[in-house]
Structure 1
Amino acid sequence: MEAERAGPARRPTRQEVAAAVGRGLPDVIGPGLRVLFCGFNPGLYSAAVGEPFARRGSRFWPALHGAGFTDRELHSWEGDELLRQGLGITSLSNRATARAAELTSAELVAGVTGLAVKAERYRPGWVAILGVTAYRIAFARPTAGLGPQPDRLGPARVWVLPNPSGLNAHFPLPALTAEFAKLRRETGP
């Protein structure tokens, strides 16, 4: 992870966001994490600024803090602090798109192989897939729900959380936070 900044990057222009199509993001990852959070893929705004969940108003950061994973609400540029708190971020696909629906099923399925390699190398306690739809497709479990799953990735157990995207209207922030808190209780202090 890059050195921490004191604040957010300059807001990208519309042209810069549009130009981020297909760009990737570096993982926020290290050995022995409590939880490695795994999204579908980077959004265009995040790819444009080079940080996960970077869009102002991202629900990931308040849900993480509200669930008790972090001692304060972190920001997208605080990857080192996230790692210090035993948490990391990766994606099934590292191809930025405007909407996750632009990913193919084959990309999601292929992403499991890379995720398994990361889990074996870094050995997190849990891998939390952020989105039941992505999990169902990627892991070929069409009836899966939220919560702990029977799959393992290396030594890591797998948990499915709701997608924190603001487009996921089924889960307002309090409900999203409650789901994150279930995993937090399972991971211990």
Structure 2
Amino acid sequence: MIFNYLLKKFSCALTFVLVLSVSSVAYSQQTCIDYIIDDVPDARYIVHADSTVTDKLTGLMWARCTVGHSGQSCELGEDAKFNWRDAMQAAADSEWADYRDWRIPNVDEYRSLVNYSCRSPAINLAIFPNVQSRNNFYWTAEISLLSGRDDTAPLFDFLDGIQNSNFRTGLGKVMLVREVE
């Protein structure tokens, strides 16, 4: 009798864990709408062997991986999060692919990557394979004067391709961009 009771409780707990894990996987899957024109097709980019990407439309070069990751598909490493000041320094110190002029993108540069036919994340994952959208915000190089405050900065959210703001002491991820010579 006790065995049956424990088995029933264990089965309920296991079912809950499985449902929770399946729902979180479903939540993290990118969804795209076929009838909306893809304004950031693969052909717009040149993917280089050094894990950089050149955007032929904007003339910008991007690191394919967010800071903390590496590899051709960004499969190596772990997420790195920084406060705004440390994010700016991490970009300035970066020598990704032997370039030394990396910086953090501004809001308009992030917007140029947004694929409005997709969400979660709203970016071309074939080009930027490890950009995430769930509770992941990317620092911009700007300072926002939210309500007259100078201690906030814009963050970019690829869930839907929108801008948010946060205190500069908060944590965010870093993408790297540079001008192509």
Asked if Structure 1 and Structure 2 have the same fold, meaning a TM-score greater than 0.5 normalized by the shorter chain, the answer is no
**Larger strand proportion of the pair:** 2
TM-score bracket for the superposition, by shorter chain length: under 0.3
- What's the TM-score once normalised by structure 1's chain length? 0.27
